[in-house]
Amino acid sequence: MSPFPTYSRRRFLALSASLGLGGLVAACGGSSSSSSSGAIDGISGTLQVVKRFPTTGLVPGSIRLPISLADTSGVLTTAGKVKLPQTLTGKVIDTATGDVVIASVTADKHDTNMSSAYWPFIVDVKKVGVYLLILDVAPESEMSFQVEERANVAWPLVGDPLPPFDTPTNDNKRGVDPICTRPQGTCPFHAVTLTEALQSGKPVVYFIGTPAYCQTGTCAPGLEALISVSKSVGDAAVFVHADVYSDKTATNPAPAVEAFKLTYEPVLYITDAKGVLVNRLDAVFDVTEMSSALAAAGIS
């Protein structure tokens, strides 16, 4: 996969972030995305669902579908006038048959140190196909997602060994400058390469994202959250960060992106002590969800 389709998709995500987030406002039912103003007081016009997950790479099994909410004024923020619900509920429908495959699914709000809240739905889908997630608060704003054959997905999936890669370090930039675009200075996750981390015999936490240039507004808080979490974890795991661009022009993808054939950012990989991927958080995550994911992997 060349860098051009990778970043044309990323720029498309950036354009759709005009609402303030890196997601796609989905109205798969056509132009009649409806208002559910009776369910959430204070919204302006119609209530819409905003995709916060990649549109490719979802495979049968447990699937994470983070979403946000928007109205005609933009994405609903934590500082806005609308009181955001703590929990959202919905259902999943198979578009091929019209069958309800999951009658009820819930997601709790996450917004720790974030300007916009998100709700990560976790659904268990067994078969490939195209599905709809329909929220009770916005029943006509259908959000589609496609489940693919595992063999068709190029990047690492849960259950796969995480491929080793020589990420840029403080001692060897490997053609990437700067190696970390964190505004506060290079983060502490560039002491060893991903290859070396996977040889450590410890779980590995690998973050790919560009804090300075991320159009989604989630890379910087995601990396800062990971730094905070790493301080409490200590040497129970090895943390590695790779930036997305190879230089300050923010036009050429870094080798780390091409190595995993990524079409989105940020992404957080969590492995066990043998280097097998046990969890992956895509596109948006706060410190609360990140800490829970690490604890579930035995990293705490």
Q: What is the CATH number of the domain that holds 22?
A: 2.60.40.1930
Q: What is the pLDDT of residues 279-291, one digit of tens each?
A: 999 999 998 999 9
Q: Which domain holds residue 68?
A: 3-151
Indicate the burial class of 42 (C-beta count within 10 angstroms; 0-12, 13-18, 19 or more). exposed
Q: What is the pLDDT of residues 96-134, one digit of tens each?
A: 999 999 999 999 999 988 888 999 999 999 999 999 999
pLDDT attached to residue 181 = 92
Q: What's 164's DSSP letter?
A: P
15 and 122 together in one domain: yes
pLDDT attached to residue 217 = 64
- What CATH number is attached to the domain comprising 198? 3.40.30.10
Mean pLDDT of the chain: 84
Over residues 243-259, mean pLDDT: 92
Cβ neighbours of 97 (radius 10 Å): 9
Helices (H), 109-211: 194-198
Residue pair 186/170 in contact (Cβ under 8 Å)? The answer is yes
More confident residue, 197 or 223: 197
121 and 50 together in one domain: yes
Closest to 263 measured CA to CA, from 7, 4, 50: 7
| Residue 77 to residue 69: CA distance in whole angstroms | 9
Contacts for 226 with CB less than 8 Å, ≥ 6 apart: 189, 205, 207, 239, 241, 268, 290
pLDDT attached to residue 216 = 55
Q: Structural domain tally of the chain?
A: 2
pLDDT band at 12 (very low <50, low <70, confident <90, very high): very low
Is residue 174 in some structural domain?
no
